[in-house]
Structure 1
Amino acid sequence: MEVVLEMTLPRDAESAPLVRHTLDASLRGLGVTSEIRADISLALGEACANAIQHAAAGEYEVRARMDGARCVVEVIDGGGAGPASCETRHAPRDRRQAVWDERQASPNAESGRGLQLIRAFMEEVRIMDRVSRNGAIVHFEKTLAS
């Protein structure tokens, strides 16, 4: 069985719990363990918080696909204060990805650890610029079997 979720959400704090609970209910229905669901929920919450805080558009999107073996999630924002300065925004794609990859919050920072948490709990993580519009896509994947 494959479950696909696609949601367009307002850029406000109430939208993140809604999408987390919706995805969690789908994963629970597929029989995914609570530990794996918690990892995915944490990563999703961090990606949504980033879109809510930094995107310039009034909405963001979440797409998730679960097939019983793997969960693939994309959080897509409409642009805003991304990782790149003006010089790197027009740099080759490899350089822009490197800027995302280099971002790390200091150990004493009160915020900015979202990408580090996503990378710690997910198996595959990519942050990409949107091709035809402003914004970024946070893509992450996790195996559903423990």
Structure 2
Amino acid sequence: MSIWWSLHLRRDAASVPLARRLLIGTMETAGVDPDISYDLSVALTEACANAVEHGGEQGCGPGSEAYRVTAYLDGETCRIEVADAGPGFPGASAERPRPQIRPARSDAEHGRGLYLIEELADHVHIGNKPGRGGAVVSFDKVLKWRENAPLMAV
């Protein structure tokens, strides 16, 4: 069984819980274990918050006021991608596509989102879109299912 959906959202803080609730509802309906759903929803929240905060600073072109969330539940895996039209991650280049991520200070109020995503997901890709610019954060996690899950992969 495969399920996928894609949202085109305004870069507004109110869009973040909308994406999170849709993901949780999809996984609950499919019968995904609640702990896995929670981990993925926190990771999605962090990725969306980054897109809202940083995803349009280059700002003038069409789409700079929006970002996209796509989720795939395919077999035993859930893959989520959040892409924006901002300037992308500083320090990422063709030679080094993954930006250098430095740990946040223990007293910092920001800067932990990408670390949380890396801890909560099984595989994480963080980089910039080729060409037009913008950041892409994608991550996946192997799913566990509730007993008698209605859409459990076979």
Q: By the TM > 0.5 criterion, same fold? A: yes
TM-score normalised per structure 2: 0.84
User: What displacement does 1:102 show?
Assistant: 3.0
User: Number of residue pairs matched?
Assistant: 138
The RMSD of aligned alpha carbons is 1.5
Q: Which has the higher helix share?
A: 1
Structure 1 segments unaligned to the other structure (5+ residues)? none
| Max Rg structure | 2
Aligned residue runs from structure 1 range 87-106, under 5 A = 88=91, 91=93, 93-97=94-98, 100-106=99-105
Checking the alignment, whether the CA contact within 8 Å between 2:89 and 2:128 is kept in structure 1 is: no
- What does residue 78 of structure 2 align with? 71
**1:64-90 Cα deviation digits (max 9, x unpaired):** 10024110000001113x441xxx46x
- What does residue 51 of structure 1 align with? 51
Give SS of 1:74's match: strand
Cα distance between partner residues in 2 of 1:83 and 1:137:
9
TM-score normalised per structure 1: 0.88
Cα distance between partner residues in 2 of 1:30 and 1:69:
12
Cα distance between partner residues in 2 of 1:112 and 1:104:
8
Checking the alignment, whether the CA contact within 8 Å between 2:89 and 2:135 is kept in structure 1 is: no
Structure 2 segments unaligned to the other structure (5+ residues)? 57-63, 146-154
Checking the alignment, whether the CA contact within 8 Å between 2:89 and 2:127 is kept in structure 1 is: no
Checking the alignment, whether the CA contact within 8 Å between 1:104 and 1:112 is kept in structure 2 is: yes
Give SS of 2:24's match: helix
What code does the residue aligned with 1:72 have?
R
Q: Percent identity?
A: 40
